[in-house]
Amino acid sequence: EQVENPQEQKILRLIEQLHAHGYSYVSIAKRLNKGGLLGRAGRKWRATVVRDVNEKAQEGRITVPY
C-alpha cells in the first residue's frame, strides 16, 4: 500500500528515521504525541502501533514516495 496522504508520509518517514537512529518505539510514540501528530484513526500513538507501522514499512507492505 502506498501512503498518499502527505501528513502520513511525514509521520512514516519520521518513524523510520528515528528508529534508524536508535530511538525506542516508546520514545517515538511519545515524540509523535508531544508533536500533536495523530495516527490514522485520529488517536494518540502507542509503542505497539509505531512498531507495527515500522515493521510494515520495513517489509515493504507500506511505502512512501521519496
Please state, in angstroms and rounded to a whole number, the distance separating the CA atoms of residues 25 and 12: 13
pLDDT, tens digit (0-9, with 9 covering 90-100), for 15-61: 999 999 999 999 999 999 999 999 888 899 999 999 999 999 899 88
In the predicted structure, residue 2 carries a pLDDT above the cut 80: no
Q: Nearest 5°: CA angle at 23, between 22 and 26?
A: 145
Quote the pLDDT of residue 40: 82
Quote the pLDDT of residue 54: 94
Q: In terms of pLDDT, which residue wins out, 15 or 64?
A: 15
